[in-house]
């Protein structure tokens, strides 16, 4: 491989990018747009669930229970219903996601029997929100129940018993349990995968559409030199986009970064080799820029979003799907990003995913270089 030929191809490709407004828009604006939209728009935190209350007793004790729902960051009491019909209408029309019904003999049951039922009605069209909301509601009621038991024991002159088992939790790596800290590193992977593959998917197909492939084939440049020269400018653009995404993640979205920059950019370079080689392979196989761009979008976006662990935990997927995720290059990079950002992991801790990503990069780069043939067939 001769550096002079690679430099000439890279210079030609850089000029093509500079003259192509669409490529410039993808390279410069898409990372900013994706980080902004997904950083603010994607959240796995479930807070301020709208609640409608139907207090059939309207006593001091029942209002005390409802105030606990109101004081919780997970609930927001938006409406007080006067009948079951009004409560069901509020659920039907989407004004609330949960209804709390307190019976008319709530205080009397607590005083005489020591127990009283409270009904919770949930809109389970979104089953995830319903399940989490039910768990939060149970915690609120349990806290209220404990306080009621303590007050009852004090009135009888007894000493309140401590709970035999108590949970003392300590959260590591994401202390505030903020889903944005979990999502943003995955957004970085999605941006780089999408931008890298989209740009390089146009390289060879552009030559066919503009009628310059004959000139390119007639040159003494080898297919490996051609591939390196074609993807080198996009590698530089990808690293620039990675730096931009890192800056936005840390300084704008305030995601903690506990790792080393050298580890991050080293693994990013491996990931870029993979996505750029995939885009180049698509460009060689499909001679239409529109077709190559669409296939690149399909190959990069869907696996990264669905099968990389970016939005859905891999260990919760069925085992056949888990097996498929090992073929998704973004899986390894998302794992690396989250470990670097939140855990401060280094090369030793990330040895296995880095090795697999490196093997993936070599295999895809080899196949991409072999795919191009200097013929007009």
Q: With helix as H, strand as E and coil as C, how does 89-146 read?
A: HHHHCCCCCEEEEECCCHHHHHHHCCCCCCEEEECCCCHHHHHHHHHHHHHHHHHHHH
pLDDT at 24: 74
Structure letter (DSSP) for residue 55: E
Q: For residue range 219-253, list pLDDT tens digits in order.
A: 788 888 888 888 998 999 889 999 998 999 899 88
d(CA 285, CA 372): 8
Q: Which of 188, 158, 168 lies closest to 32, judged by CA? A: 188
What residues contact residue 355 under an 8 Å CB cut-off, 6+ apart? none
pLDDT at 336: 94
Higher-confidence residue: 179 or 201? 201
| Token pair for 152 | 């009852």
Structure letter (DSSP) for residue 350: T
Structure letter (DSSP) for residue 19: H
What residues contact residue 100 under an 8 Å CB cut-off, 6+ apart? 51, 52, 53, 54, 66, 69, 118, 119, 120, 121, 137
Q: For residue range 264-274, list pLDDT tens digits in order.
A: 999 999 999 99
Categorize the per-residue pLDDT at 164 as very low, low, confident or very high, splitting at 50, 70 and 90: low
pLDDT at 147: 81
pLDDT at 146: 81
Say if CB 122 and CB 46 are below 8 A apart.
no
> What is the set of domains in the chain, with CATH numbers?
3-43+178-371 (no CATH), 49-155 (3.40.1710.10)
Share of the chain above pLDDT 70, in %: 94
d(CA 318, CA 374): 44
pLDDT at residue 165 tops 60? no
Structure letter (DSSP) for residue 248: I
d(CA 130, CA 135): 9
Q: Where are the alpha helices (DSSP H) in 201-318?
A: 203-210, 213-218, 223-247, 261-285, 289-307
Share of the chain above pLDDT 90, in %: 25
Q: Where are the alpha helices (DSSP H) in 20-59?
A: 21-41
- Average pLDDT of the segment spanning 143-162: 70
pLDDT at 160: 52
pTM summary value: 0.81
Scan for tokens 């669930």, then name that residue: 49
pLDDT at 217: 77
């Amino acid at each position: 491989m001769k550096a002079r030929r690679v430099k000439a191809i890279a210079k030609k490709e850089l000029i093509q990018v500079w003259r192509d407004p669409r490529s410039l828009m993808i390279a410069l604006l898409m990372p900013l747009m994706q980080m902004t939209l997904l950083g603010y728009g994607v959240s796995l935190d479930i807070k301020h669930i709208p609640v409608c209350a139907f207090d059939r007793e309207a006593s001091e004790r029942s209002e005390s229970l409802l105030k606990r729902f109101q004081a919780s960051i997970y609930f927001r009491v938006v409406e007080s219903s006067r009948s079951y019909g009004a409560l069901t209408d509020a659920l039907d029309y989407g004004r609330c996601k949960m209804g709390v019904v307190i019976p008319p003999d709530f205080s009397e049951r607590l005083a005489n029997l020591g127990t009283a039922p409270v009904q919770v009605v949930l809109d389970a069209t979104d089953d995830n929100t319903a399940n989490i909301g039910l768990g939060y509601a149970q915690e609120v009621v349990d806290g209220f129940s404990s306080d009621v038991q303590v007050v009852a024991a004090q009135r009888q002159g007894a000493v309140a018993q401590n709970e035999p088992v108590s949970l003392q939790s300590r959260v590591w790596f994401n202390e505030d349990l903020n889903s944005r800290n979990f999502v943003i590193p995955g957004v970085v992977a999605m941006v780089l995968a999408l931008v890298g593959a989209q740009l390089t998917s146009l390289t060879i197909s552009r030559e066919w559409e503009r009628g310059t492939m004959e000139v390119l084939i007639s040159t003494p440049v080898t297919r490996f030199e051609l591939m390196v020269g074609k993807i080198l400018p996009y590698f530089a653009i990808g690293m620039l986009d990675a730096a931009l995404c890192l800056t936005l993640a840390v300084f704008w979205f305030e995601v903690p970064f506990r790792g080393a920059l050298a580890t991050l950019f080293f693994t990013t370079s491996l990931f870029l080799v993979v996505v750029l080689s995939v885009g180049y392979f698509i460009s060689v196989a499909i001679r239409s820029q529109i077709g190559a761009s669409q296939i690149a979008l399909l190959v990069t976006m869907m696996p990264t979003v669905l099968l990389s662990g970016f939005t859905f935990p891999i260990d919760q997927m069925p085992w056949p799907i888990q097996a498929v995720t090992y073929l998704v290059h973004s899986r390894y990079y998302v794992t690396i990003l989250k470990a670097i950002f939140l855990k401060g992991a280094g090369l030793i801790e990330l040895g296995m995913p880095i090795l697999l990503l490196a093997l993936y990069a070599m295999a895809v780069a080899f196949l991409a270089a072999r795919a191009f043939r200097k013929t007009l067939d």
